[in-house]
Amino acid sequence: MKKTVKEDLRNRSIPELKTTIETLQRDLFSIRLHAATKPLQDVGHYRKMKKNIARALTFLRQKQENA
């Protein structure tokens, strides 16, 4: 059975979450640059990236509060 993004993020440690957030933010920035130069193929990808960043930040905050 395929793991969901939530399950994957929930099982990561604090340093792994921080690196994941940095990677997702870099990817979002590159998507913005591509969108400025040419139209995007998948418009929904931008929204999914933002939601994944928010999920990762939420799990990071929860883990930091519990630690």
The residue extents of the domains of the chain are 5-66
User: pLDDT confidence of 4, banded at 50, 70, 90?
Assistant: confident
User: pLDDT confidence of 1, banded at 50, 70, 90?
Assistant: very low
Query: Are the C-beta atoms of residues 24 and 50 closer than 8 Å to each other?
Result: no
Q: What's the pTM value of the predicted model, to 2 decimals?
A: 0.85
pLDDT at 2: 56
Retrieve residue 61's tokens.
């905050």
pLDDT at 16: 96
Please write the tens of the pLDDT for every residue from 20-29.
999 999 999 9
